[in-house]
């Protein structure tokens, strides 16, 4: 039994036999009001919005809980996607099935997926129900100056993400959009990989520069900073692109900014494909691992997530050091260039500085000696 509710109601349709024709984009962004039904779930409140969908906190509807109150059942994070073509819907269903079979404490579990139709305009949507993680994102933790990361904590984060990638890759999945905003940190302190790359695989999240985000201050904080060279160049991206992204996250945790952070996403993308990794900005013991994770050629990166977990286990077992003062390093990465590849203006400035230094020395030599 379903009680009447204010706002749009949604009825569920499941399985290929209930689908007639391709999914099409709604004329306006879909907004689902609290209390509306999406499949077996009832929306509680919105959590976030993207270009092709929204995420809501939701609970199983009363008629889907064997008569129990919805308040007595666990809440979920319900992602509702719209505007999907038929091929994208089929590929999403395949990868969702693989994701649903994952059993890893370091990947946010997928609890179910299905299709639903908006009663208001007959627009069909896809929904995916994930475990609702109480906590925050790794991005928020990294931006909190009151709780800095020491090397032991950084190694723990890397190990948890490495084990999450281990599970994903073993299931035949590649994330393709691993970044701090897509890592959830629960109240228990454990990192969990979220927002899986099935959406990126479907082309719904463009890996091009158009998907970049800029902060209000103009500093780059979006996807490109963690994208691998092969993704930026439009080449095939396999599991090794996830290793690159993890390397960029670890570098940022150690140095204060991603390795190729620049004032704008275009310069960032160029640096990823051309510049050398400024390994001198991170502790010496991290450099061999980061050099392999951030190798421009995917074939030169780590061969598997098993190897990654082994390397991070060794780092975690080694003595850690205190958190570093990273403000200067962060400025250099965001607004400077690495010495390995100075631009034309940089070469001119270096030459001018050297000439000025020579003239100063000559002037000092020419001064008469004091009696």
The closest alpha carbon to 295, from 273, 270, 328, belongs to: 273
Q: What is the DSSP letter of 220?
A: B
The active-site residue out of 119, 177, 188, 242 is 177
> Residue 37 pairs with which residues in a beta bridge?
42
Cα dihedral across residues 257, 258, 263, 265: positive or negative:
negative
- Alpha-carbon torsion angle 33, 37, 43, 48, nearest 10: -70
> Environment class of residue 354 by beta-carbon count within 10 Å: exposed (0-12), middle (13-18) or buried (19+)?
exposed
The closest alpha carbon to 242, from 172, 143, 310, belongs to: 172
150: annotated active-site residue: no
Quickly count: other Cβ atoms within 10 Å of residue 288's Cβ.
12
> Environment class of residue 1 by beta-carbon count within 10 Å: exposed (0-12), middle (13-18) or buried (19+)?
exposed
Q: Show contacts of 273-279: CB within 8 Å, 24+ apart.
A: 273/229, 273/232, 273/233, 274/341, 275/337, 275/338, 275/340, 275/341, 276/338, 276/340, 276/341, 277/251, 278/333, 278/338, 278/340
Greatest CA separation found in the chain?
A: 106
> Which pair of tokens denotes residue 49?
């919005």
Residues tagged active-site: 177
């Amino acid at each position: 039994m379903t009680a009447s509710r204010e706002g749009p109601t949604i009825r569920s349709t499941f399985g290929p036999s209930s689908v007639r024709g391709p999914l099409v984009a709604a004329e306006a962004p879909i907004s689902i009001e609290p209390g509306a039904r999406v499949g077996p779930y009832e929306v509680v409140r919105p959590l976030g919005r993207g270009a092709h969908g929204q995420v809501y906190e939701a609970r199983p509807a009363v008629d889907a809980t064997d008569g129990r109150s919805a308040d007595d059942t666990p809440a979920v994070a319900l992602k509702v996607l719209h505007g999907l073509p038929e091929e994208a819907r089929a590929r999403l269903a395949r990868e969702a099935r693989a994701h649903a079979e994952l059993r890893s404490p370091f990947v946010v579990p997928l609890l179910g997926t299905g299709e639903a139709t908006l009663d208001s305009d007959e627009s069909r949507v896809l929904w995916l129900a994930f475990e609702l993680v109480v906590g925050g994102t790794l991005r928020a933790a990294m931006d909190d100056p009151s709780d800095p990361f020491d090397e032991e904590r950084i190694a723990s984060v890397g190990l948890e993400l490495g084990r999450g990638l281990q599970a994903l890759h073993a299931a035949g999945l590649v994330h393709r959009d691993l970044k701090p905003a897509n890592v959830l940190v629960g109240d228990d302190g454990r990192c969990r990989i979220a927002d899986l790359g099935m959406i990126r695989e479907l082309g719904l999240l463009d890996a091009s520069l158009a998907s970049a985000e800029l902060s209000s201050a103009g500093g780059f904080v979006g996807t490109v900073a963690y994208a691998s060279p092969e993704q930026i160049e439009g080449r095939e991206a396999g599991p090794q692109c996830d290793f690159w992204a993890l390397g960029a996250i670890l570098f940022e945790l150690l140095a204060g900014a991603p390795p190729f952070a620049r004032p704008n996403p275009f310069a960032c993308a160029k640096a990823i494909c051309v510049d050398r990794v400024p390994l001198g900005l991170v502790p010496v013991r991290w450099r061999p691992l980061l050099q392999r994770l951030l190798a421009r050629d995917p074939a030169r990166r780590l061969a598997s997530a098993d190897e990654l977990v082994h390397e991070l286990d060794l780092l975690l077992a080694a003595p850690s050091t205190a958190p570093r003062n990273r403000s200067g390093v962060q400025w250099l990465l965001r607004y400077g260039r690495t010495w390995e590849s100075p631009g034309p203006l940089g070469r001119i400035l270096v030459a001018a500085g050297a000439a000025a230094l020579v003239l100063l020395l000559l002037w000092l030599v020419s001064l008469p000696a004091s009696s």
